[in-house]
Amino acid sequence: MGADKAKAITLSELCTHIFPPPKGRKGKGVCVWCGKEVDEMFDIKVSDNFMGWCYFSFGDCMCRYCYAFFSKQSFRKKSWVATKSGVKFIKRDEIMELLLQPPKPPWFLYITKTGQKQGWLHCIHKVNLSSFSFTVAFEPFDFPVQTNISEVHALHNLLSFLRERKVTKTELLTGVFKMKTYERAIKEGYEEELKRAKKYAGKGIWEVMCHVIK
Ligand SMILES: [Zn+2]
């Protein structure tokens, strides 16, 4: 699909390309986060209580994009969607729409929960080059969540169906249903849907969708 064609780009390049570039110092180095060789070096600037050293690799500096990315606290504190036209900070109730209808590639979606962790550290090379099969980053996980558009639509239908029948978010998330919920499902004929939800509990994309569904 023509519309799906996009060139590989790092997460920091996608997120910070429209910012005015900061000034570094001349010298050949390797960026610790994206691994690119650069001739304009920036100090490795992370907070004092930074816990993400294991997501860095061999390198002695940051490139301008990674440096700019780490300087902006909002990337940690908020959820956002990044595309070629820039970064948009978003609210929790705007996320489902993006999952159901992803932007034109390249794109990336970060979903925060507490705003404490840098849940995108493992995603420097995970920018989506497709709107069909993609990954998203969810703060509590230290791995990218892999999914595709068909799965998202199927899970959205299932979740909406059960939410309309007053199944709680906690029940959906854990796959542990109250006796009352089972009884109602038997009476109203949606045991199958409950069983399917139980199977999905514990899967990355299911947790993400339980978090963002109303
Ligand atoms: Zn870099």
Dist. CA 19 → ligand 1 center (Å): 15
pLDDT by residue for the chain (214 residues), tens only, comes to 444 456 799 999 999 998 888 899 999 999 999 999 999 999 998 888 888 999 999 999 999 999 999 999 999 999 999 999 999 999 999 999 999 999 999 999 999 999 999 999 999 999 999 999 999 999 999 999 999 999 999 999 999 999 999 999 999 999 999 999 999 999 999 999 999 999 999 999 999 999 999 9
Dist. CA 139 → ligand 1 center (Å): 21
Decide if 178 contacts 171 (C-beta within 8 A).
Answer: yes
Q: Sort 201 into a burial class: Cβ within 10 Å, 0-12 / 13-18 / 19+.
A: middle
Dist. CA 35 → ligand 1 center (Å): 6
Dist. CA 63 → ligand 1 center (Å): 4
Dist. CA 124 → ligand 1 center (Å): 9
Dist. CA 120 → ligand 1 center (Å): 14
**C-alpha–C-alpha distance, residues 132 and 21, integer Å:** 32
Dist. CA 62 → ligand 1 center (Å): 5
Dist. CA 77 → ligand 1 center (Å): 21
Dist. CA 156 → ligand 1 center (Å): 36
Dist. CA 36 → ligand 1 center (Å): 6
C-alpha count within 13 angstroms, C-beta hemisphere, residue 14: 29
Per-position b or e across 21-34, b if 16+ CB within 10 A of its CB: eeebeeeebbbbbb
Token match 């820039």: residue?
A: 86
Dist. CA 80 → ligand 1 center (Å): 20
Say what the pTM is. 0.92
pLDDT at 151: 98
pLDDT at 3: 47
Decide if 141 contacts 147 (C-beta within 8 A).
Answer: no
Dist. CA 41 → ligand 1 center (Å): 10
Domain ranges of the chain: 2-143, 149-212
